[in-house]
Chains A and B, each alone.
Chain A
Amino acid sequence: MLRSYLRLATRVLLRRKFFTAVSLFGISFTLVVLTVVVALLDHVLAPLPPETRLERTLAVYQMRFSTRDGRRGRFETSFLLMDRYMRGIPGVERMSLLSTQQEMMAYANGEPMVVTLKRTDADYWKILDFAFLEGGPFTEADVENASLVAVITEAMRRRFFGHAPALGETIEVDGQRFHVVGVVSNVSRLRPIPYSDFWVPHTTDKSGAHRRQIAAGGYVAAFLARSPADLPAIRAEFASRMQRVPIHDDPVAAREGVDRLVAHMEAPAETVARLYAGDDFMAVDEEGRVRLGRFFGALAALAFLFMLLPTLNLVNLNVSRVLERASEIGVRKAFGATSRALVGQFVVENVVLTIVGGLLGFVGAYAVLGALTGSEVIPYAQFRMNGRVFLSGLALSVFFGVLSGAYPAWRMSRLNPVDALKGGAR
């Protein structure tokens, strides 16, 4: 049955080449756009190296405060507070503190060069899964002794040393000379925890204010749980410790009249929702908690809105094709084909069409993603097609096919056989 439907579908589609071409163009274009969006989402959400343990990672990016006279504000996570109060939460395998990326000037042969610097500790290299091309990470001893050592990316190595190895070379950044101890592959700008060009021990910070002042923010705390099952308990423990932080003892907080400090642990998807939607879809509440449902709901609504026009276009094309085939349908009806069989046949035809369009769309999306990666709009981002993206794209094209095939199929099944045989129908 299905085989004969498929054979019929190919026949019909080849008969009217213009219509088929136009439909294919619309379908493949729609799926190019949707697949590119899915691939971008995949790029920010999926566990890609070096973030291979996303499912048991939590992070704290910001703290919000309110004062006695009603002012509110937020700042990037405090190193001191996390270091002092959040160590040793049960269920946490490792905890790392890393600075948010800072752009710094480096000078090579007199030409200014901007490097993105991240200050961190030794556990950072154990939470993340970096592939080292040369050397290795800096160690706990390096961090303790404030050694001027650095891990750099492949791109930095190219910029500073051309194709020569970088190990043991020195780079001057911010008036300090760092010895290169390791070289890693490039990291995408869109992954906030691993992204950087240049990693150094946090103790090399010249002012050292982050270790003295709670108000000196600028850090992110990353937590790796032993297992995903521990996450709720870790969040609860974090929240209860946060409430017990003696914030009134801090001189700056006392001077500013801060009486409440809140922070939340975020799963990676929550961070993405906060960064990309934030207040736009009210994906973040007053206290900074992320409402994931709203974010994905808004995304789905946007995708549906975008698909509306291509769907209508395809529906219109299909309706006129149905009417064109009135006599064929009339014959089948006259010989006793049920409406259901006809609807089934038409939907199969349409799904075949959308899947062919979908495959063309994948080729297009592949090209667009390659161009996006090549254009370096987003530094070091490698957008790729993969199994997840392919499956989501396929699901989308089937959804699209059914959506645009259903109404014309219904119209077809309702044709009066007598009218249909005469070839006239409204």
Chain B
Amino acid sequence: MTRHLLKLIWNRRRTNALLMAEVLLSFLALFGIATLAVYYTDNYRRPLGFDYRDVWVIEYNPKGYDPAFPNRNVHIYWRLFHALEELPRVEAVATHSWGVAPYWVPGGEFRDEVDGRRYVADADRVSDGYLEVAGLELTRGRWFSSEDDVVPPNDNVIVLNERLARHLFGDEDPLGRRLPWPPRGDGSRRPGELRVVGVVREYRPRGEFSAPGNHFFARHRVDDPESNGSSLLVRVSPGTPAAYQERLVARLFREAPEWTFRVKPLAEWRAANHRLRLTPLVALGLVVGFLLLMVVLGLVGVLWQNVTQRTQELGLRRAKGATAARIQRQILGEVAIMTTVALGVGTLLVVQLPLLDWLGSVRAGVFAASLVLSAATIYVLTGLCGLYPARLATRIQPAEALHHE
């Protein structure tokens, strides 16, 4: 049966090649959008590692700084920090530097190697209060504290997330292990080493839709004369109204009248991050959806036309005793074979992506799931397209066909 169908398809190869090309292109478009959707869903389900609720991010205008006198700001910074700590509705305060805040897609990744193991990691420099502000879960060792004030300045303490700890040290105990500092290519002027003192379960500052990545925290001293933080984060008591922001800023202005402050709840950063991620997905999804609808309607038309053109052939088969079910099977079988050929070519094309290592942070499981999902969808859609024309084919009367001759 299949061989016979293949022969029939081959006989009309020019027309069918175009049809298969159309199915192939639809598959590729669907695969692209499906991969993105599955990738986002998969990332979204994984734990984030921090709690964005009731956290406010305070940024200040960098123009308040005078790059010629970096030290002048340390005192102001110190005063701001303590003014915030004393506010009644503020539960914890932390400084944050290198990158801006969670949900801000930070620029720089660090790349280096430890004992021959390469790693790529995001990093933040945060002060001691960050554990409480971000609601991190410590699983090993300890978090930063004032006992780190006495360590020599070129011995920097860090806390890893579990993924980085596992990546670098496997099952061995990461506590007390060292990473080189500065990471290669970074122009920092302070050579030394990074010493691991703790591990947190998870930390994904790039947000829910990003791929889980390696991360480490370095310690920021609020009175560090060489580096200012780039933002302040506070955890406020649950239910603090937005109007409280004005009081908070007024307090900051008292300490630093020439600075410029901006307060934004982390929830708003999160919403902006989600909009940024989802808008392209929704727009592309709509476009691909309409493309598929167009293809489906087009295929119905073409298959319908094919069937009416093949009255003689199908009528002859009926006359020689083929049942309606067999005719229907023939038409649907042809559609299935053409779809399979198109999907085969499509799969060959898309598996080049993992083979060429162009997947980036998309995991193999996500890739496979999107492949299966989009292939199945295409089968269902082409099957649906074939249904009406196949029904039509069964209505062909043998007499009609013979009359045609």
Contacts and interface: CB of A to CB of B under 8 A. Distances in A.
Interface of A: 18-19, 22, 25-26, 29-30, 33, 67, 69, 71, 102-105, 107, 110-112, 114, 174-175, 205-207, 209-210, 212-213, 215-216, 218, 251-252, 308-310, 312-317, 319-321, 323-324, 377, 411, 424, 426
Given A22-B298, A207-B66, A309 B260 contact: no
B63 A209 contact: yes
A317 B304 CA distance: 11
B331 to A, nearest CB: 15
Contact of B263 (A67, A105, A319): A105
B64 A207 contact: yes
24 contacts: A19-B305, A22-B300, A25-B294, A26-B298, A29-B294, A30-B294, A104-B260, A111-B243, A112-B242, A174-B260, A175-B253, A206-B257, A206-B259, A206-B260, A207-B65, A210-B63, A213-B66, A252-B67, A316-B18, A317-B298, A317-B301, A319-B302, A323-B309, A324-B305
A213 B298 contact: no
Interface of B: 11-12, 14-15, 18-19, 21-22, 25-26, 29, 61, 63-68, 187, 242-243, 245-246, 249, 253, 257-264, 279, 287, 290-291, 293-295, 297-302, 304-306, 308-309, 312
Contact of A207 (B25, B242, B258, B294): B258
B298 A103 contact: no
Nearest to B275: A377
B28 to A, nearest CB: 9
Nearest to B11: A426
A206 B60 CA distance: 13
B242 A313 contact: no
Given A29-B290, A309-B291, A313-B22, A22 B246 contact: no
Given A209-B65, A309-B29, A312-B18, A22 B262 contact: no
A18 B263 CA distance: 58
B230 to A, nearest CB: 15
Given A105-B249, A175-B257, A33 B67 contact: no
A107 B246 contact: yes
A219 to B, nearest CB: 11
Contact of B18 (A67, A209, A319): A319
B305 to A, nearest CB: 4
Contact of B297 (A22, A209, A321): A22
A253 to B, nearest CB: 10
B309 A312 contact: no
Contacts of B63: 205, 207, 209-210, 216, 218
A71 B19 CA distance: 54
B389 to A, nearest CB: 11
A316 B63 CA distance: 62
Most chain B CB atoms below 10 A, which of A67, A111, A313, A324: A313
Given A105-B263, A175-B253, A110 B65 contact: no
B37 to A, nearest CB: 19
B187 A69 contact: yes
B245 A112 contact: yes
Contacts of B11: 426
Contacts of B294: 22, 25-26, 29-30, 310, 313
Contacts of B257: 175, 206
A213 B15 contact: no
Nearest to A73: B187
A308 B22 CA distance: 9
A316 B22 contact: yes
A310 B25 CA distance: 10
A385 B366 CA distance: 41
A83 to B, nearest CB: 16
Nearest to A315: B18
A71 to B, nearest CB: 4
B68 A252 contact: yes
Given A102-B61, A210-B63, A18 B301 contact: yes
Given A102-B260, A112-B246, A316-B299, 13 more contacts: A18-B301, A22-B298, A22-B301, A69-B187, A103-B262, A174-B260, A207-B65, A212-B66, A215-B67, A309-B26, A309-B29, A320-B301, A323-B309
A366 to B, nearest CB: 17
Contact of B305 (A67, A102, A308, A320): A320
Give me the 6 closest cross-chain CB pairs, A-B, nearest first. Answer: A320-B305, A313-B298, A26-B294, A22-B297, A309-B25, A206-B258
B172 to A, nearest CB: 35
B245 A320 contact: no
Contacts of B21: 312
B115 to A, nearest CB: 27
Contacts of A25: 293-294, 297
Nearest to B29: A309
Given A207-B64, A252-B67, A316-B298, A105 B19 contact: no
Contacts of B293: 25
B281 to A, nearest CB: 14
Nearest to B245: A112
A309 to B, nearest CB: 4
B399 to A, nearest CB: 18
Nearest to B309: A323
A319 B291 contact: no
A315 to B, nearest CB: 6
A206 B63 CA distance: 9
Contacts of A252: 67-68
A145 to B, nearest CB: 19
A312 B17 CA distance: 11
B22 A312 contact: yes
A213 B68 contact: yes
Contacts of B264: 114
A309 B253 CA distance: 59
A309 B22 contact: yes
B111 to A, nearest CB: 16
Contacts of A411: 14
A310 B22 CA distance: 9
Nearest to A21: B297
Nearest to B291: A309
Contacts of B187: 67, 69, 71
A209 B61 CA distance: 11
A321 B262 contact: no
Nearest to A306: B287
Contacts of B253: 175
Contacts of B279: 377
Contact of A216 (B19, B67, B262): B67
Nearest to A109: B243
Contacts of A209: 63, 65-67
A58 B201 CA distance: 51
Nearest to A102: B61
A111 B260 CA distance: 18
Given A206-B260, A209-B65, A313-B294, A320 B302 contact: yes
Nearest to A250: B68
A320 B249 contact: no
Nearest to B262: A105
A411 B306 CA distance: 16
A110 B298 contact: no
A159 to B, nearest CB: 15
A30, A33, A175, A210: residue with the most chain B Cβ atoms closer than 10 Å: A175
Nearest to A314: B298
B396 to A, nearest CB: 15
A97 to B, nearest CB: 14
